[in-house]
């Protein structure tokens, strides 16, 4: 039977439009609903894979994991101690006070305390933990030091002390151990003229390490200066 | 109504019929009569005037709305005929199609056309008198009888829409004339029969005439005369003679099938006062038409020699009219046998109740039905809708599946992450601690480096002073102690005065120097200078020089604090 009659195009066109609209809605649904889920899943899966890889690659914590906190605490304490030791000197006035207090503790009379200058501490490389390469007077190195920024320096004092021999010896020894990063550069000790037996007078030269201020400290100092 | 039941709607100028076919038999039929005089008007108005007739018939049968239905119909522009093609096979079909298209206006544009091979004729055996049985004519050839069918596409849509407006779902349509022809070819075959036979299947508005010689098809045609002519004659005679305004066409039809063709002097209906004298004059033209169609068909379809031996069989619904076969036999001067219709299956219903509907039954399983463009469009639209909906549903399901998969996988990954998170966290903490330690170590080393750079190595002054306490011995007076650490190594100078000797005879300064030299705090000890005191010959002024051992600033200096903290 040969058929004739209706146009397929007229039937298809509106339905094609509906199908396209439905397709667009589905695509929108995928874009708005499913795609984020898929992306989230991909991200999670990637994170999980990374974790599994890191777990597989990592050594079993075991005894090392138990020892680690102890070692960390020990290192922390040592480091804190060293830091405190190095940073015990903050300014010349504080050194002066510390020396006076120490002398007083040892019953030593300080006839004179004179600052004898400062010098920069030049460290070749802190990363390589190499030994210092040079120590020079501040006057020679001012330009280089300022170019590098603040550097550690040694504050030096010359003292004239008088007291019992044992006390002066203890004072000299404690100058190195009780004042933080300090060093007795030289001393000369002789019996005091016109004094009793056992009383000596000493000329002592000390050096005290002063660390440069940290950025935080600098900022705090600037703020303090700016505050009326 | 069971699902397997089929609904067949019949449309003719005289009636609308709806039959419910169950198990191959009509279980229920509803007939609503129409006025044939209004037939053309009905078509001009797209059959809308007879919507109620179909609805009434459907209502009488209590059909469910939307039930699928097929339509057997008569339409004014339907073409259904038999084309005798002087060829066989595809050539015959092509010839029939070509002939059909040529006979149609606009070369068939806007028409639904179809052909169907009914049978092949062997022209050698058309005449029984030309040759003895078994002998053949050397010049004989074959021809093919092809049913050609054409219907206007817009008429088909009108029919489909008419059925749809009645609440049914049109499936397909088929012209009753074509159905009668197909059935005639199929049902009148009598295998093994000898002789010449003309089967006349009388339908409501058409009849088919099929000729057979020794069960070989020799002719077939369709004439547009049916028993409706007789029913109309009965109606007009009833209305005229009895002046009975209420005498309806349905009543006339029923009366025709009950009283049939009356003989002279016979009373047709006593109540109406209708007798043969009223009816027969009006029956005569109809009978004449039947007679002419039969004679003409036999004359042009059969050999002259076969005409005297032809046997006519009357079949179809029209054969149920009592006395018709006898009347035709008288008029045609041939033997006319009436074959009982096989459609009395609705328990007491008259033949006219069914009309041509039975002709549709054998065709139900055959692919001859016409699907109107409107139906095809609706079916196609439904298919497209289903496809679109299926696509949308599939896409939605796909999206949902994707979303569900992503969600479930996300949950699974979350669970897995949660399971390994503590280990990872521990690992990260471990790494962080190591990193912090490394950083702190570097910083520590940096501090120590700065301290060493600034302070350098230092002697153990307290120990040194303890050593110097050994100078407090007889014969030794320390005048001055000085130390200098401006050079690479710290040096200590002891200026002293020694007098006399020790008990072992040794110089007290030498003994002191030996003690100093043995100390690990002293790298070297020596007498730098010695002289006799200017004011005492027994005394010697000595200068002792010591080079002191030093230690750099080292981590161990701060280890005690760490150990204390951890403990």
Do A208 and A114 lie in one domain? The reply is yes
Decide if B531 touches A, using CB distance below 8 A. Answer: no
Q: For B456-529, where are the alpha helices, taking DSSP H only? A: 461-468, 508-518
Do A111 and A196 lie in one domain? The reply is yes
Decide if B433 touches A, using CB distance below 8 A. Answer: yes
Per the structure, the count of domains in chain A is 2
ipTM of the predicted structure? Answer: 0.70
Look at residue B454 and give its three-state secondary structure: helix
Chain A residues with CB under 8 Å of B407 CB are 37
Chain A residues with CB under 8 Å of B427 CB are 54-55, 58, 61
Q: Which of B475, B476, B511 is nearest to B496 (CA)?
A: B476
C-alpha B263/C-alpha B267 separation (Å) is 9
Do A104 and A213 lie in one domain? The reply is yes
| Residue A68 in domain | no
Q: Which of B298, B313, B303, B295 is nearest to B193 (CA)?
A: B313
SS (H, E, C) B250-305: HHHHHHHHHHCCCCCCCEEECCCCEEHHHHHHHHHHHHHHHHHHHHHHHHHHCCHH
Question: Exposed/middle/buried for A18, CB within 10 Å: 0-12, 13-18, 19+?
Answer: middle
Do A171 and A108 lie in one domain? The reply is yes
Q: Residues B374-414: pLDDT tens digits?
A: 888 888 888 888 988 898 899 889 888 988 888 898 888 88
Q: Residues B236-262: pLDDT tens digits?
A: 888 776 555 678 888 888 888 888 888
The whole-angstrom distance between B335's CA and the closest CA on chain A is: 39
Note whether B559 and B502 are within 8 A (CB).
no
C-alpha B238/C-alpha B240 separation (Å) is 5
C-alpha B471/C-alpha B473 separation (Å) is 6
The whole-angstrom distance between A221's CA and the closest CA on chain B is: 23
Q: Closest chain B residue to A23 measured between Cα atoms?
A: B392
| Greatest Cα-to-Cα distance within chain B, rounded to the nearest angstrom | 205
C-alpha B234/C-alpha B239 separation (Å) is 8
Decide if B403 touches A, using CB distance below 8 A. Answer: yes
C-alpha B541/C-alpha B535 separation (Å) is 11
**Cα–Cα–Cα angle for B344, B213, B136, rounded to 5 degrees:** 160
- Does the pLDDT value for residue A23 go beyond 80? yes
Chain B residues with CB under 8 Å of A187 CB are 481-483
Q: Residues B131-148: pLDDT tens digits?
A: 444 444 444 478 888 999
Q: How far is CA B394 from the centre of its chain?
A: 10
Q: Measured between CB atoms, which of A12, A33, A73 is closest to B566?
A: A73
C-alpha A77/C-alpha B565 separation (Å) is 7
CATH of the domain at A153: 3.30.70.60
| Residue A228 in domain | no
Q: Residues B260-313: pLDDT tens digits?
A: 888 888 888 887 778 888 888 889 999 999 989 888 888 877 766 676 778 888
C-alpha B277/C-alpha B259 separation (Å) is 14
| Residue A79 in domain | no
The whole-angstrom distance between A227's CA and the closest CA on chain B is: 32
Considering chain B, what is the average pLDDT of its residues?
83
Do A132 and A202 lie in one domain? The reply is yes
Q: Residues A26-79: pLDDT tens digits?
A: 889 889 888 888 888 898 888 888 888 878 877 655 556 677 778 888 888 888
Do A17 and A123 lie in one domain? The reply is no
Q: Residues B213-237: pLDDT tens digits?
A: 877 778 888 888 999 999 999 888 8
| Residue A3 in domain | no
Q: Which of B151, B453, B566 is the mutation pick for testing A, counting most A CBs within 10 A?
A: B453
- Does the pLDDT value for residue B565 go beyond 50? no
Confidence of residue B564 (pLDDT cuts 50, 70, 90): very low
* Contact between B455 and A74 using a beta-carbon 8 Å cutoff: no
Note whether B118 and B83 are within 8 A (CB).
no
Q: Residues B323-338: pLDDT tens digits?
A: 888 888 888 778 888 8
| Residue A211 in domain | yes
Tell me which H or E stretch contains A154: strand A153-164
Do A43 and A141 lie in one domain? The reply is no
Chain B residues with CB under 8 Å of A48 CB are 413, 416-417, 420
C-alpha B462/C-alpha B479 separation (Å) is 20
C-alpha A177/C-alpha A102 separation (Å) is 11
C-alpha B554/C-alpha B451 separation (Å) is 9
Do A126 and A24 lie in one domain? The reply is no
C-alpha B2/C-alpha B107 separation (Å) is 44
* Contact between B112 and A2 using a beta-carbon 8 Å cutoff: yes
pLDDT of residue A3: 58
- Does the pLDDT value for residue B466 go beyond 90? no
* Contact between B403 and A3 using a beta-carbon 8 Å cutoff: no
Decide if B105 touches A, using CB distance below 8 A. Answer: no
Q: Closest chain B residue to A39 measured between Cα atoms?
A: B406
pLDDT of residue A126: 46
Q: Which domain holds residue A161?
A: 92-222
Do A42 and A101 lie in one domain? The reply is no
Of all residues in chain A, the percent with pLDDT exceeding 70 is: 81
Decide if A220 touches B, using CB distance below 8 A. Answer: no
* Contact between A177 and B462 using a beta-carbon 8 Å cutoff: yes
pLDDT of residue B17: 93
Q: Which of B324, B334, B326 is nearest to B302 (CA)?
A: B334
With a CB cutoff of 8 Å and minimum separation 6, the contacts of B456 are A183, B485, B550, B552
pLDDT of residue A125: 55
Confidence of residue B188 (pLDDT cuts 50, 70, 90): low
| Residue A60 in domain | no
Residue B186 structure tokens: 């199929």
C-alpha B67/C-alpha B258 separation (Å) is 34
Do A192 and A140 lie in one domain? The reply is yes
Q: Measured between CB atoms, which of B370, B446, B553 is closest to A126?
A: B446
**Cα–Cα–Cα angle for B252, B256, B262, rounded to 5 degrees:** 125
Q: Is pLDDT larger for residue B323 or for residue B488?
A: B323
| Residue A66 in domain | no
Q: Measured between CB atoms, which of A37, A83, A191 is closest to B407?
A: A37
C-alpha B254/C-alpha B256 separation (Å) is 5
Residues 457-496 (B) with a CB less than 8 A from some CB of A:
458, 461-462, 465, 468, 479-486
Residue B288 structure tokens: 């004449």
B335-338 and B458-459 beta bridge pairing: unpaired
Tell me which H or E stretch contains A85: helix A62-86
Residues 88-147 (A) with a CB less than 8 A from some CB of B:
121-123, 126-127, 129-132, 135
Confidence of residue B43 (pLDDT cuts 50, 70, 90): very high
B15-22 and B335-338 beta bridge pairing: unpaired
| Residue A70 in domain | no
Pick the range with the lowest mean pLDDT from B121-135, B435-449, B487-501.
B121-135
* Contact between A77 and B566 using a beta-carbon 8 Å cutoff: yes
- Does the pLDDT value for residue A4 go beyond 70? no
Do A102 and A35 lie in one domain? The reply is no
Q: Is pLDDT larger for residue B515 or for residue B427?
A: B515
- Does the pLDDT value for residue A133 go beyond 50? no
C-alpha B446/C-alpha B452 separation (Å) is 10
Backbone angles phi, psi at B480, to 5 degrees: -160, 145
SS (H, E, C) B352-393: HHHCCHHHHHHHCCCCCCECCHHHHHHHHHHHHHHHHHHHHH
Do A109 and A48 lie in one domain? The reply is no
């Amino acid at each position: 039977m040969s058929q004739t009659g209706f146009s397929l195009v007229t039937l298809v066109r509106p339905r094609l439009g509906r199908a396209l609209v439905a397709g667009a809605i589905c695509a929108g649904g995928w874009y708005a609903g499913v795609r984020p889920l898929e992306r989230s899943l991909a991200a999670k899966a990637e994170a999980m894979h990374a974790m599994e890889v890191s777990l597989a690659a990592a050594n079993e914590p075991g005894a090392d994991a138990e020892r680690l906190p102890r070692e960390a605490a020990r290192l922390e304490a040592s480091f804190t101690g060293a830091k405190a030791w190095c940073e015990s000197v903050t300014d010349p006035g504080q050194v002066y006070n510390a020396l006076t207090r120490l002398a007083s503790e040892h019953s030593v009379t300080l006839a004179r305390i004179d600052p004898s200058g400062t010098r920069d501490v030049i460290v070749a490389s802190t990363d390589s933990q190499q030994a210092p390469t040079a120590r020079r007077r501040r006057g020679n190195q001012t330009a280089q030091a300022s170019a590098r920024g603040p550097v550690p320096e040694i504050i030096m004092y010359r003292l004239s002390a008088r007291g019992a021999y044992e006390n002066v010896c203890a004072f000299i020894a404690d100058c190195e151990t009780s004042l933080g990063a300090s060093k007795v550069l030289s001393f000369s000790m002789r019996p005091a003229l016109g004094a009793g037996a056992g009383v000596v007078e000493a000329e002592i030269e000390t050096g005290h390490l002063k660390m440069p201020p940290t950025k935080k400290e600098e900022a705090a100092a600037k703020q303090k200066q700016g505050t009326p | 109504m069971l699902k397997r039941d089929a609904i067949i709607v019949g449309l003719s100028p005289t009636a609308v019929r709806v039959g419910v076919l169950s198990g191959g038999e009509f279980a229920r039929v509803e007939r609503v009569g129409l006025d044939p005089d209004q037939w053309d008007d009905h078509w001009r108005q797209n059959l809308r005037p007879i919507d109620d007739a179909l609805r009434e018939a459907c209502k009488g049968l209590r059909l469910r709305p939307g039930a699928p239905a097929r339509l057997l119909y008569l339409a004014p522009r339907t073409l259904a005929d038999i084309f005798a093609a002087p060829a066989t096979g595809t050539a015959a079909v092509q010839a029939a199609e070509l002939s059909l298209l040529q006979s149609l206006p606009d070369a068939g544009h806007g028409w639904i056309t179809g052909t169907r091979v009914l049978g092949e004729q062997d022209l050698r055996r058309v005449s029984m008198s030309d040759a003895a049985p078994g002998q053949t004519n050397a010049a004989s050839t074959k021809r093919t009888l092809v049913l050609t069918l054409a219907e206007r596409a817009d008429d088909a849509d009108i029919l489909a829409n008419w059925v749809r407006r009645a609440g049914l779902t049109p499936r397909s349509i088929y012209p009753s004339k074509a159905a009668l022809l197909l059935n005639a070819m199929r049902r009148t075959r009598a295998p093994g029969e000898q002789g010449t036979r003309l089967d006349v299947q009388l339908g409501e508005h058409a009849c088919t005439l099929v000729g057979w010689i020794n069960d070989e098809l020799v002719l077939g045609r369709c004439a547009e005369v049916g028993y409706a002519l007789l029913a109309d004659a009965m109606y007009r005679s009833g209305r005229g003679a009895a002046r009975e305004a209420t005498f309806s066409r349905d009543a006339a039809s029923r009366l025709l099938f009950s009283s049939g063709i009356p003989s002279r002097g016979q009373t047709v209906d006593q109540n109406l006062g209708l007798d043969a004298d009223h009816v027969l004059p009006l029956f005569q033209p109809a009978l004449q038409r039947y007679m002419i169609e039969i004679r003409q068909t036999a004359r042009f379809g059969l050999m002259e020699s076969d005409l005297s031996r032809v046997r006519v069989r009357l079949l179809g619904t029209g054969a149920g009219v009592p006395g018709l076969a006898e009347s035709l036999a008288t008029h045609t001067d041939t033997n006319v046998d009436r074959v009982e219709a096989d459609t009395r299956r609705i328990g007491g219903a008259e033949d006219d109740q069914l009309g041509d509907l039975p002709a549709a039954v054998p065709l139900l399983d055959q692919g001859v039905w016409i699907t109107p463009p409107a139906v095809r469009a609706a079916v196609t639209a439904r298919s497209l809708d289903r496809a679109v909906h299926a696509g949308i549903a599939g896409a939605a399901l796909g999206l949902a599946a994707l979303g569900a998969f992503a969600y479930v996988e996300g949950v699974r990954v979350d669970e897995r992450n949660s399971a390994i998170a503590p280990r990872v966290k521990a690992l990260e903490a471990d790494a962080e601690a190591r990193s912090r330690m490394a950083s702190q170590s570097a910083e520590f080393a940096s501090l120590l480096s700065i301290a060493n750079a600034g302070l350098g190595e230092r002697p153990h002054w307290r120990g040194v002073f303890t050593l110097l306490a050994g100078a407090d011995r007889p014969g030794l007076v320390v005048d001055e102690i000085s130390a200098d650490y401006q050079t690479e190594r710290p040096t200590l100078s002891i200026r002293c005065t020694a007098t006399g000797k020790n008990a072992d005879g040794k110089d007290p300064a030498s003994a002191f120097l030996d003690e100093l030299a043995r100390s690990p705090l002293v790298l070297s000890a020596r007498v730098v200078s010695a002289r006799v005191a200017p004011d005492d010959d027994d005394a010697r002024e000595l200068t002792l020089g010591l080079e002191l051992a030093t230690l750099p600033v080292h981590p161990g200096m701060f280890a005690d604090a760490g150990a204390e903290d951890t403990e």
